[in-house]
Every structure is written in structure tokens, then in C-alpha cells.
Amino acid sequence: MKPSGTGETVSMREIEQKFEVPEDFELPSFDTVLGVAKVSAPVEHNLDAIYYDTPDLRLAASNLVLRRRAGGDDAGWHLKESVGDGERLETHAPLGAVGDGVPEELARLVRSRARRRSLVPIAKLESRRILHRLVGADDDVLAEVADDHVTGTALLHPDPAVTSWREVEVELVDGDRDILTAAAHRLEDAGAEPARWGSKLGHALGDIDLAPAPVELDHRSTAREVVAAHLADQVGRLVSLDPHVRRDDEDAVHQMRVATRRLRSALATFRRLVDRAVTEPLRDELKWLGGELGAARDTEVIHQRLQEMVAAEPPALVHGPVAQRIDTTMSQRYADARSALLATLDSDRYLQLLDDLDAVASGAVIVGDPADKKATKVLPRELRRAKRRWQRDVDALDDAEDTDAQLHEVRKKAKRVRYAGEALAPALGNKPKKLAARMAELQDVLGRHQDGIVTARVLEHLADDARAAGEDTFTYGRLHAIEQRAAADAAAEGRSRLV
């Protein structure tokens, strides 16, 4: 796959399949695979790789592989993250000298897992690779077939275990998955077996139990099981999204902010089942993190919204350099917000929050006898309480001095009901699922109301800056009126859904 990236690191998608084969395995011919015009002459590489992890294998438990490999066409540091269906996201950094240690850019990408722990050598792999390239009619390389003879040394114990094996992997280059499937079938027909391990590191380490088996939830599950599964899932999502935010991947900030909100909401919804002396301070810290994420996310969303609004305006109604001022101002705001966010993700406060969330992910914060009763007996009450809090805010609307602010509170409470319903649906069935869907629709409508209000405020500041620069502010006023109308329409629609 073609790489992308800037600076010292480069990221790319890697799609491959691995197979176990005996030492006397005869590699089949790939000349007649559909789309393959020829197979290039084999090339031999000697690869030496050192794999790094924390002493308690936190990276391996998260399906992350970090290595320094010398030899071959892509010598350097590699960080690989499984993203499903035989696909991994691979980030490269230059090889550097042997004693340089893990490059800082890659260390940052695993910081949410490693925290303050050292990254140490955990395995050494030496491979003799015979590489066959499957070439298309236009001389483009469709895929590579690597025939590897591997010697792996696990370095976790004073007396390192050494194992040797042979494996074959097929990796796409410029071809599609049909090429991968056809080549895989050719190998299976020749007697190759799908690999039991997703990486050479896994093979070298052997059968190490790194993560608990997922709990299957149904109507027989206890409240503890349901709540623990939901909390663990949200903590896991928050932690896993950290490197994507650092890379500025599309929608990563939004998704991490959602995970933060869901987790904070769950600790409130299930407060009767958790140790509040532990979880209430964590809710405060999650609110802080959500705010840090929100500064970057809101700027990003408003920038796109304003770009679309200006583009939709008749040219005769766009007076002055409106689009340019919006892009310059909002791009700088996003850069400042992103810089602040990255500093947050490297802060001791953030790392301490992640450490504290380990107790949430493990279920250790869940306490009390009700937690061990059936979820169907205990948790509907928690959902009803969340819904009653939402209804109180709905009932207060008519007497509110600031209706916009009160509608925002209704939206936040609706979001809590939605999150609770989605968390409980696996054990409680369709009723909480339908309630969650209804609240999601209301949340979207009131979200448009809030977006209109916030965007109108930004337009006021943009108009002030334009006026100070001697520019015409007509268009900012027009866009402001459009946003006010959009907010009012959304408020009216939201109110109609509350009847």
C-alpha cells in the first residue's frame, strides 16, 4: 500500500495473510493466478529484528507490534496496529543507531498503553527471507510472497527460549484483495495452514494469555457483568484512539471525545453501583479531558460549517475576503487547539488519568450487593432515573430565563439516557435500544440548535476582526442571521419532539 505521512514517520496500510508451513514445504507456482503476468526472480534478504514492549507486555495485549529491523527493503523502526480483516496500520521511522532507543515519535504513539513504563527488548527474530513479487501486465507489483525461515528468541526470562519455524506471507502492494485471495488459495491447495499467530512476535512468545476473554451478555447476565463490560469497552476505546488523535487521523478527536463522554456518563448513570469516592474525581478529570478534546473538535466543525455556508452564498453577496479570513482564522485556531491537545496527551495529569481508569476497566470500582443481581432486575431502575432527570429538565423549559441554555441541558440529559440505553441493550433487549434511538434523534436536532448558537458567536468575532481591518462586514451579518434562524428552527423542532 502507498505510504503517507510527514516528517520522520510514514504511515501506510498493510494487508496480508500469513501461513504456517513445514520445513520441506514446496512453494507453489503463482504464474497462473488471475491478473499476474509474471513472477519476478526471487530475492533473498537476511532480516534481524528486535521487538520492544513494556515488561508486562502492554503493547502485545493491545495487538501492537513495535520493532527495530535491519536488512531488507524497509529497514527501520516499525509500529504495527491491527485494524481487522488481515489489515494493519504500519508506521515507519528511520533505523538510527543501535543504541538510540525507540524513536520519540513512535514512543508517543504507544504512550497511552505504555504510560510511564520503559520499552525494553522482549524478543529477537532472525529471518532468511526469499521474496517473490507477483507482477501485473503493466509491470506494477501486485503482491509479494515472502518465504521466511525464522529463528525467534524470547527475551522475557533469564534463560531465553529459542524456537525456529517456517512461514509464508502474502502481502498486497498495488493489487486488490482478489489477488490476495487467489494467492492464498494456491498456498492452501499446496498444504499451507493459516497461521495461528497474527505476527512473528506472537509465535516467538508462544501461548501467553494477554487479555481476558470477552463476556457474552444476555438476559441472564448480572448487573456487574453488564456495567463492567461497558466501562471496559469505553476505557479501551479512549486508550486506543490516543495514537489516532496524535496522528491527526480523520474523526479521531471526535471519537475520542465521544468515548470520554460515554465513560463519564456511565459513571454517573451507574453511580449506585460504583465506588463514588473513586469515580466522582474521575468524572471531573474526564470532563477536563473532554474539554481539551472539544476545543480542537469544535474549531474543526465550525470551520467546515462556515466554509460550506460561504460556498453556498451567491457571489454577489460575499463582500470582501470572507472565505480567506475564515480559513486563516480558523486554521490558526485549530493549530493552537491541536498543539494544546498534544501537550495534554503528554502531560502527567493525562497519564495519571489513564492509570486511574485501569481500575474502571477492570471492574474494580463496581461495589455492593445489587451489582451481583440479575441485570434485568437492577439496571432498568438506573435507566428510569436517567430518564427522570431528563424529564425534569424538559419540564423546566417553560419557566427558563435562558431557553437556549436550558435546551442545551435537555440535550445533555438526552445524551446520557441514550448512552445508558445503548449500554443496557445487550442484556435488556429492544426497550432500551428504542429509547436510545429516540434520544439520539432528539440529540441530533438539539445539536443543530447548539451548533447554530456557537457558530453565530464565532461569526461575531470574525466580523469584529474584519471591521478592525477595514473590511466590509455585510456577509458576516448575513451569515449570522442565517445561523440564528437555523438555531431557532432546530429549537422549534426539538420542542415538537418533546410533546
Q: How far apart are CA 453 and CA 130, in angstroms?
A: 62
Would you kindly state where each structural domain of the chain is located, as residue ranges? 10-205, 223-497
Task: Please report, for residues 6, 172, 273, 415, the alpha-carbon distance to residue 445 in angstroms, rounded to integers and kept in the order given.
Answer: 39, 44, 32, 12
- What are 47's strand-pairing partners? 127
CATH of 223-497, one of 3.40.50.300, 1.40.20.10, 1.20.20.10, 3.30.390.50: 1.40.20.10
Closest residue by Cα to residue 310 from 469, 449, 488, 474 = 474
- The model's pLDDT over 46-69, given as tens digits with 9 standing for 90+, comes to 999 999 999 999 999 998 999 999
**10-205: CATH, from 2.60.40.420, 3.20.20.10, 1.10.3720.10, 2.40.320.10:** 2.40.320.10
Q: For 293-352, how does the pLDDT look when each residue is reduced to its tens digit (9 = 90+)?
A: 999 999 999 999 999 999 999 999 999 999 999 999 999 999 999 999 999 999 999 999
Percentage of the chain surpassing pLDDT 70?
Answer: 97
DSSP per residue, 18-64: EEEE-TTPPPPP-TTSTT--EEPPPEEEEEEEEEEE-TT-HHHHTTE
Mean pLDDT of the chain: 93
**pTM of the full structure:** 0.89
Q: Tell me: the pLDDT tens digits for 241-252?
A: 999 999 999 999
What is the percent of the chain with per-residue pLDDT over 90, rounded to a whole number? 85
Give the per-residue pLDDT at 97: 82
Q: What is the pLDDT of residues 370-384, one digit of tens each?
A: 999 999 999 999 999
Helix, strand, or coil (residue 138): coil
Three cell numbers written together for 361? 476497566
pLDDT score of 2 more than 60: no
Give pLDDT, residue 210: 67
In angstroms, the CA 202 to CA 197 distance is 6
| Residue 353 burial (CB count, 10 A) | 18
CB of 266 within 8 A of CB of 420? yes
| Cell numbers linked to 432 | 432500551
Distances (CA, A) of 311 to 93, 127, 173, 389: 40, 56, 39, 41
Q: Which of 46, 102, 104 is nearest to 76 (CA)?
A: 102
pLDDT band at 86 (very low <50, low <70, confident <90, very high): confident
